[in-house]
Each structure stands twice: as structure tokens, then as C-alpha cells.
Amino acid sequence: MIGYVYCNPDNSYTLFYTLEGIPEVIKKDLIEAEIPEGDGILRREEDGSFYWELPPEPTPEPEPEPVPPVETIEEKINNLFSMTEQNNLITVDAVLGVYEEVLALREEVAALKEITNNA
């Protein structure tokens, strides 16, 4: 098939089948040539013949990162209560540990008083 081609700045070619409606500025740079059947991006070999280059495969868009689920008010309240209970258990354990130490010291003091009074 005969066509008229215009060289674009990126070295691809625009193909026209008729000269009607083409601006005069472009007409002076047109090349009349035998164009092979096909589609894609029209390119020119070094020997002057034309060929169709397949367009590049579109790069797939990256999958969006998963959005973490939004915590509901009820879940936030339950988590707060759970953390408060854990903190309370830790505090009670610490207080009990101190209380046991105080009782042990009391017993030691009482034992020392007895030894002192008996001596």
C-alpha cells in the first residue's frame, strides 16, 4: 500500500493515506513510500523501508498496599479495658511483692527484738 509518511521528532512516522487536509508546512516533508500491512509504531529501516514496531507492553501498576482495617469505637474501648486490666495486674503483683518484703522485714525485726530482750 502506498502512503505518505511524516517523520516525527521521536523518529516514529505519521502515516497519511491521502494528501487532502494535510497542512502545507508538513506536505513539504512528506515521503511517499510503500507501507507494509500492520499496526503499531511506524519506523524506518536504514535501507529506507518501513516496518511496524509493536508498542511496548504497558507496565502493570503496582498493587496498592493493603489498608489496615479501621478500628471501631467498640474495639478501641475493649483494647483500652484489656490494657488497663493488664496494667492493674502488673501493679497488684508489684504491690504484693513489696508487701511480702515488708512482712519478711517485720519478722526479722521481731526476731531481732526477741534476741535483744532475751540477752
CA 12 to chain centre: 35
Q: Is pLDDT of 7 > 80?
A: yes
Exposed, middle or buried by CB within 10 Å (0-12, 13-18, 19+), for 13?
buried
DSSP 55-86: PPPPPPPPPPPPPPPPPPHHHHHHHHHHHHHH
The string of pLDDT tens digits covering residues 24-83 is 888 888 888 888 888 888 888 888 888 888 888 888 899 999 888 899 999 999 999 999
By C-alpha distance, which of 32, 60, 62, 71 is closest to 48?
32
Bridge partners of residue 43, in order along the sequence: 51
C-alpha to C-alpha distances, 67 to 26, 30, 61, 77, nearest whole angstrom:
52, 54, 17, 22
pTM of the model: 0.43
Q: What's the pLDDT band for 119 if we cut at 50, 70, 90?
A: low
